[in-house]
Amino acid sequence: MKKILSLIIIGSVISLYGCGGSGSSSNTDPSTVSAKITLTGAVVKGPVASASVTIYQINSNGSRGSTVAGPFSTANDGSWSGELPAGSTGPFEVVATGGSYTDEATGETVTLQTGDELQSLIPEGVTGSVTAAITPYTHALALSMREEIKQGKTPAQAVTNAINSALSGVGFDVTQVIPPDPRNLPANATEQQKQYAALLGGISQLGQNSTITSGSTGAASRFQIALAITQDMGDGKLDGKGIDGNPISVTTPSGAVTLPPLDASGTSLLTTATNTFTSAQGTSYNGVTVPAIKNIGVIPKDTTTTTTTYDFGTTPGLPMLNKSSEIVSS
């Protein structure tokens, strides 16, 4: 009798927990549960230590949306890591603020001030593990993204187009390749990492151009100069104008000044500055081919035209004029 009673009790317990009667178990298929997305990256202008990295939604008009994740802190080598919440879809803007770095060309310690930031992008539909470099070159892509949205693209389209512009303009994805310290290349750095580091050093070296240092922009911080050059190269020309066609403003201790044009026909001066930087680093960059910046962040011209046709009425005594317009995009 005791054995029968015991079996009944055990059976009841198994039934209770096995069938979910208490609500403590779940029949959810694990494969249907969205996993968190792992993030790794680095903030490099050289490596920015003690920076804060925050992930934001991108609003439909290109403005910064709500916070998705972060802030995450960078280590001394600029590296950072974090997670996106399960179910995150993107695209996202990645923003780094604060911290300090050693300027590549001068060796000067530069501290980012209030309002200083570098931006990057994460495309729509990412899963698993995601890499996000944050550099002046990714900053140029973020500026390009906003201009494309102004021209009618969705955030997802604009982010994809901006990243693709870097692929064609530089030869690799500047949001995915993590650049090492341009002044201290590791032995195991890949060719693309070395190229990226060289291009970052080139921006710093270009900031030493006498047109910049001897003029009203000479009093600006090294970061402000680098940021202005980043804005300038977005349209494929170092003409002192941004991707929106407006003059670029540079913040100095005495107020805002305009960035002077350096090369109104292209970005060859940036290539020259990059080669000057790499030559000054001894044998570190031996054998590295410096890519020429062609069109990173360049916005395609709006080729939409309006064709107007007129239909004149032929009924005697009743002149009739109908006008119709057709939008043609090429």
Q: What is the pLDDT of residues 196-246, one digit of tens each?
A: 999 999 999 999 999 998 888 888 999 999 999 989 987 888 999 988 889
Buried b (16+ CB within 10 A) or exposed e, 201-228: bbbbbbbbbebbeeebbeebbbbbbbbb
CA distance 130 to 44: 17
DSSP-derived letter for residue 220 is: S
**Residue 254 pLDDT grade (very low, low, confident, very high; cuts 50, 70, 90):** confident
Lowest model confidence (mean pLDDT) among 109-113, 220-224, 230-234, 301-305: 301-305
Q: Model confidence at 25, in pLDDT bands (50, 70, 90)?
A: very low
Report the C-alpha gap between 93 and 53 in whole angstroms. Answer: 10
Judge whether 201 and 107 are in contact, CB under 8 Å.
no
pTM of the model: 0.80
More confident residue, 296 or 194: 194
